[in-house]
């Protein structure tokens, strides 16, 4: 009887490209802004810097998603996932995940979604309405749900493993992002 890892083809270059992008993307924007690269390129204008970062992060996200899909296409499928309940679960995860991501983006706007706070652009107050009243990090949770939905839909053990990697990378990113966000809004409240 084959084990789960027998359904992962480690020789596929597409797998390693997906891994590289999953590891790279969350840290890229933060590192770029910490070095103040985009602010300098934007002539010191925080809005231009934020929109430049937004375009960069969005493009990297599209690239990551493409590479993820390519990795799944190049991998064997697992027969366990070939059942109606798995497809239904995948569809529900996809709808839930996209709802969390899209409503987060709507609530935060471009500058809130794409690290405007790193450029000094703060919202009037921290967003606490839907979907932030359902979970603390709806964009990351929603994105992880979409990755898992895709893995299940394509019957891919590799996709499930890559989803686990996405989850771990997001958790690491949050160890930096959450304290920073708490600090800047606490400082803002002190000034007011």
Burial 30-49 (b: 16+ CB within 10 A, else e): bebbeeeebbeebeeebeeb
Give the total number of structural domains in the chain: 1
Residues 190, 44: Cα–Cα separation, whole Å: 26
Question: Largest alpha-carbon pair distance within the chain?
Answer: 65
Binding site, annotated residues for S-adenosyl-L-methionine: 95-97, 177-178
What tens digit of pLDDT does each residue of 26-79 get?
777 666 656 566 667 777 788 888 888 899 889 999 999 999 999 999 999 999
Q: Which residues constitute the domain of residue 43? A: 4-191
How big, in percent rounded to 5, are the helix, strand and coil portions of the chain?
A: 75, 0, 25
pLDDT at 38: 65
This prediction's pTM: 0.90
What tens digit of pLDDT does each residue of 96-152 get?
999 999 999 999 999 888 878 878 888 888 888 999 999 989 999 999 999 999 999
User: Of the candidates 27, 17, 7, which has an alpha carbon nearest to the alpha carbon of residue 69?
Assistant: 17
What tens digit of pLDDT does each residue of 64-92 get?
999 999 999 999 999 999 999 999 999 99
Binding site, annotated residues: 95-97, 177-178
């Amino acid at each position: 009887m084959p084990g789960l890892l027998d359904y992962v083809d480690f020789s596929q270059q597409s797998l390693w490209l997906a891994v590289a992008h999953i590891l790279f993307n969350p840290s890229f924007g933060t590192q770029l802004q910490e070095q103040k690269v985009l602010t300098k390129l934007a002539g010191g204008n925080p809005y231009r810097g934020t929109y430049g970062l937004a375009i960069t992060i969005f493009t990297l996200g599209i690239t990551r998603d493409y590479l993820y899909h390519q990795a799944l296409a190049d991998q064997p499928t697992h027969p366990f996932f070939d059942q109606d309940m798995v497809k239904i679960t995948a569809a529900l995860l996809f709808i839930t995940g996209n709802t969390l991501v899209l409503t987060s983006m709507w609530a935060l706007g471009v500058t809130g979604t794409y690290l405007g706070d790193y450029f000094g652009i703060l919202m009037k107050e921290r967003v606490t309405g839907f979907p932030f009243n359902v979970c603390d990090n709806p964009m990351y949770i929603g994105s992880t749900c979409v990755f898992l939905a895709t893995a299940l839909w394509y019957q891919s053990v590799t996709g499930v493993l890559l989803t686990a990697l996405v989850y771990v990378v997001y958790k690491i990113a949050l160890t930096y992002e959450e304290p920073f966000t708490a600090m800047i809004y606490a400082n803002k409240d002190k000034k007011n």
